[in-house]
Amino acid sequence: MWVKDLEDIAHDADDVLDEYEYEVLRRKVEVQDQMKKKVLNFFSLHYNPIAFRHKMAHKIKKINSSLVNLKKEAAGIGLVASSTFQGGSSHDAGVDRETVSSFAQDEKYIVGREKVVLDIVTTLIDSSNTQKNSLSVMPIVGFAGLGKTTLAKSIYNHDEIGRQFTIKIWICVSIPFEVKSILNKILVHFKLEKAQEKEAALKNLQEHLKGKRYLLVLDDVWNEDPDKWNDLTSCLSSVKDTQGSSILVTTRSEKVAKIVQTLPMCNLGKLSDDQCWLILKNRAFLDDSAPLTKDQERIGRDIARKCAGLPLLAKVLGNMMRFENIDGWRVIQESTRWDLSDGDERIMSILKLSFDELKPTLKQCFAYCSMFVKDFNIEKDDLVQLWMAQGLLHRPSSQSNLEMEDVGNQYFNILLEKSFFQDVSMDNYNVITHCKMHDLVHDLAELVSKSKSKDSNDVRHMAQPSASELQGIPKGIVVRSMFLEGNKVLGNILPRFKGLRVLKLQEAYITELPISIGKLKHLRYLDISRTTIRRLPQSVGKLYNLQTLRIHNFYLEEFPKELPNLINLRHIYFDREYFRDFPVGIGRLSNLRSLSYFIVGKEKGRGIEELGGLMHLKGKISIYRLEHVRDIEEAKKAKLAEKTNIRKLKFEWGKTGQAP
């Protein structure tokens, strides 16, 4: 209770600082607007400095009083002041690279399953060549941590599978098992819109699967209802001319395997101690030629033996041991967590060893990942921006020149090195763009996070809440994050959640953004991608603290003229093909780091000079309609040569660069 009270006070203090910053930004915007109109009338500004200072003073006094009381309570329960926390691995602050090329190679490193892969590939191809109409289904069954998903990936990416099947589709099913949802995930694989009804989804699939031989992987299936499975296979079998197609299922449940199988199931066994040692050693020593001491090999092999044939544990502990000296290895070897009986509880306890080594801010960043659904393909930049919105990215005093995004990239790479992330995707520059989490690691994130404890009075982050869950939140609880993807419950709820830092409405079934959005003074992150909203309210221009605005795949009639008021904005994402006109006055957004494209116009506020003040731009940017630039002197006003953090620049002249 004492720790929770301290956390509440810390959040209250954060809110006070936030309100002060909001007023500073609001004042700055209003002064700019007045200067732009060449009229500066201080009495016309909606600002009463005396009342505001009184309000802030009262809040600060209340916080100080709470801290004094809390200090008194601390003495009563035996807590004493200590020096600043120095925990966490010593390497944490040093991981600052943008690319981590070793991980792509590392995930292809599979031990002890080579024959199993070849046997399953052969079975699937033989079945594909001999079957007539029905789908072949082969289940891979085994308990958690055995590497079922890794095995399925090896099969999925096998050259012979690529030659045999025209289309390959990977779907994570998990819980619940909903046929429409699975069909929609297949549509998303083809980059198609999700369907509202199962029949509509099936109709679209007919067009894209007809006449094709496909392999469908359904990962992490838990459904033990034969009727639901039969419903899915009936839908897929109704697609014409897909003879020779197959389904590969991974599951922990033998009952599930027996329901789905038409081909013999693969019961995945444990690895040998020697095979676990190979995995652990490969992770602990990136340099294969590095010599091992006798103590390292003896302790390492003993830890590998204790992994009990589970490659996941060998991988996680190997990554952990890479940054430990021999004494650190002994701590792992002698941990009492090995005394737990085999099963999920023991696996989770060992995984938590690695979590416990993280610094507090990294623990919070990892826990926040529980907001994503299992097997979600997490965009790295998006994750960093979410962390940033929650105030989790702190620059070390020795690296005060770092930006918050740089700190976020460091944190990401540390969590990746510790195997909390996997399945990385990279761009053409070998920079990681996306990742996933192992389902057991996701379970750990949920375990250490409060985002799932919706029945408690300590709810601060909510993922996919129902309308009743939202209504049931007690007064006084400040919700800081809300993911409402695919949800219809937005309605008039926003005024109840004025403390939101993050509002993620991606793919939500909403047609308009309420005017009350402008009252979210603390909002730093807003994602309304893939919604059916056509117009943004003017009140969006009051989100002065907003750092990230995402509006991908979004047909907007026009940008609000108040957009340039978002002077704290660092990242804005929108797609050229979805907008008729480029926003006016984007040059006022001097904090921008991300702007994927700019269309030069003839009108005031759309000229090339708008780019001049955007000195923090990074990454890549495309500039269209350059025929509207009159001469070299006007072109120089963009100051492109001074934007040294841009790594890719594209120029285009003519109507092909014009938005529709």
pLDDT per residue as tens digits for the range 258-292: 999 999 999 999 999 999 999 999 988 877 777 88
Q: Is residue 542 part of a domain?
A: no
Residue 31: count other Cβ atoms within 10 Å of its Cβ. 14
Residue 74 has pLDDT above 70, yes or no: no
pLDDT on residue 98 = 41
The domain boundary, picked from 389, 416, 441, lies at 441
pLDDT on residue 42 = 47
Task: State which residues form the domain around 365.
Answer: 92-106+271-441
The domain boundary, picked from 237, 267, 297, lies at 267
What's the CA gap between 138 and 256, in Å, rounded?
Answer: 11
| Whether residues 277 and 424 fall in one domain | yes
**What average pLDDT does range 524-537 have in this prediction?**
90
- List of residues 6+ apart from 616 with CB closer than 8 A: 570, 590, 591, 592, 593, 645
| Whether residues 167 and 305 fall in one domain | no
Least confident of 85-89, 214-218, 414-418, 625-629: 85-89
| Whether residues 249 and 222 fall in one domain | yes
| Whether residues 341 and 240 fall in one domain | no
| Whether residues 189 and 201 fall in one domain | yes
Q: What is the largest CA-CA distance in the chain?
A: 84
Residue 81 has pLDDT above 70, yes or no: no
Q: Is residue 311 part of a domain?
A: yes
| Local confidence band at 432 (pLDDT 50, 70, 90 cut-offs) | very high
Q: Is residue 645 part of a domain?
A: no
**What average pLDDT does range 511-540 have in this prediction?**
90
| DSSP state letters, 165-224 | -SEEEEEEEESS--HHHHHHHHHHHTT-PPPSSHHHHHHHHHHHHTT--EEEEEEEE---
Q: Is residue 363 part of a domain?
A: yes
What digits encode the pLDDT tens for the residues 112-137? 999 999 999 999 998 887 766 678 99
Q: Is residue 618 part of a domain?
A: no
Question: How many domains would you assign to the chain?
Answer: 3
| Whether residues 263 and 284 fall in one domain | no
Tell me what percent of the residues of the chain surpass a pLDDT of 90: 47
Q: What average pLDDT is seen over the chain?
A: 84
**What average pLDDT does range 625-644 have in this prediction?**
92
Q: Is residue 337 part of a domain?
A: yes
pLDDT on residue 654 = 85
What's the CA gap between 539 and 563, in Å, rounded?
Answer: 10
- Residue 197 near residue 180 (C-beta atoms within 8 A): yes
Residue 105 has pLDDT above 70, yes or no: no
DSSP state of 556: B
| Whether residues 12 and 119 fall in one domain | no
| Whether residues 170 and 210 fall in one domain | yes
Q: Is residue 361 part of a domain?
A: yes
| Whether residues 131 and 236 fall in one domain | yes
Helices assigned H by DSSP within 428-481: 439-448, 467-471
Q: Is residue 557 part of a domain?
A: no
Instruction: Give the phi and the psi of residue 76 in degrees, each rounded to 5.
Output: -70, -25
| Whether residues 356 and 437 fall in one domain | yes
What's the CA gap between 324 and 328, in Å, rounded?
Answer: 5
- Rg over alpha carbons for the chain, rounded to the nearest Å, is 27
| Whether residues 324 and 230 fall in one domain | no
Residue 598 has pLDDT above 90, yes or no: yes
Burial group, residue 225, by CB count within 10 angstroms (0-12, 13-18, 19+): exposed
**What average pLDDT does range 488-512 have in this prediction?**
83
Residue 45 has pLDDT above 50, yes or no: no
Residue 645 has pLDDT above 80, yes or no: yes
| Local confidence band at 241 (pLDDT 50, 70, 90 cut-offs) | confident
| Whether residues 256 and 339 fall in one domain | no
Q: pTM here?
A: 0.84
Read off the CATH number of the domain in which 127 is found. Answer: 3.40.50.300
What's the CA gap between 421 and 444, in Å, rounded?
Answer: 12
Instruction: Give the phi and the psi of residue 248 in degrees, each rounded to 5.
Output: -115, 125
Tell me what percent of the residues of the chain surpass a pLDDT of 70: 87
What's the CA gap between 356 and 364, in Å, rounded?
Answer: 12
What's the CA gap between 114 and 151, in Å, rounded?
Answer: 9
Higher pLDDT, 302 or 401: 302
The domain boundary, picked from 221, 248, 267, lies at 267
Residue 455 has pLDDT above 50, yes or no: no
